[in-house]
Amino acid sequence: MKILVAVKRVVDYNVKVRAKADGSGVETANVKMSMNPFDEIAIEEAVRLQEAGKAKEIVAVSLGVAACQDTLRTALAMGADRGILVETDVELQPLAVAKLLKAVVDQEQPDLIILGKQAIDDDANQTGQMLAALLGWAQGTFASRIEIGAGEINVTREVDGGLETIAIKLPAVVTSDLRLNEPRFVKLPNIMKAKKKPLAVLKPAELGVDVAPRLVTLKVQEPPKRQAGIKVDTVAILVDKLRNEAHVI
């Protein structure tokens, strides 16, 4: 079985995100970037399936600027066999990402696609579902457990009421949730080995996909700073302030 995993380069989760001074977007200059945490979980799950003898090859795919090669090298160091970068300077939106991934899938013909359920930069939670729809494949979203069977896969999903287990036929698209696994620490020897693993670079035009943005960001601004709270002596004063100052009751 071949597994394809999509990974995204995002601002590191430990970094405080700041808006640009002109409000045109989020500041990324001289900011630490890393792999989207949910995509790390997706890579880890693919590697575990390979170690269990359920998969023969893992292909990591990233979309974006040339610096995304660093993210792919991290995926290769974690255990992916080879990488594919679809290089573009255009800011990619979920539908464009899904279309590019579909074009890569048409070339690679994987049996299983694993993605993070969402990226921590836009929190869109759309790409996996869009990709499954474009491919016409079954999908299992918010996976906290994956079990491979004969021609099908059992996915335990995290839903509002608890857990739901579904059986879907392969090929399929699965999006990973936080509790699917804990990604391994990447050791230095694996980082060195990853430099020798194959990494192909493609352009959206080669895949026949138009990645022009459909939405335009008008302005990005940080939320107002939270004001300090105050103490009141009685409930009556509290109610008065909530009614006449905060206007919440």
Each residue's pLDDT tens digit, 199-243: 999 999 999 999 999 998 899 988 888 888 889 999 999 999 999
**H-helix or E-strand containing 34?**
strand 33-35
pLDDT tens figures, 112-162: 999 999 999 999 999 999 999 999 999 999 999 999 988 899 999 999 989
Per DSSP, 64 falls in state E
What are the residue boundaries of the structural domains of the chain, listed by start?
2-213
pLDDT of residue 173: 98
Nearest to 54 by CA among 46, 62, 43, 65: 46
For residues 125 and 100, give the distance between their C-alpha atoms in angstroms, rounded to a whole number: 17
Q: Dihedrals φ, ψ of 150, to 5°?
A: -80, 100
Q: What is the pLDDT of residue 223?
A: 87
Distances (CA, A) of 82 to 4, 164, 199: 10, 33, 6
User: Which CATH number does the domain 2-213 belong to among 3.90.950.20, 3.40.50.150, 3.40.50.620, 1.20.1580.10?
Assistant: 3.40.50.620
3-state secondary structure (DSSP) of residue 173 = strand
Q: pLDDT digit string (tens) for 62-90? A: 999 999 999 999 999 999 999 999 999 99
pTM (predicted TM-score): 0.88
Share of the chain above pLDDT 90, in %: 87
Q: What is the pLDDT of residue 208?
A: 96
What Å distances lie between residue 201 and 71, 98, 124, 204, 212, CA to CA?
13, 18, 26, 10, 20
User: Which stretches within the chain are classed as H helix?
Assistant: 37-51, 68-78, 94-108, 127-135, 188-194, 204-207, 235-244
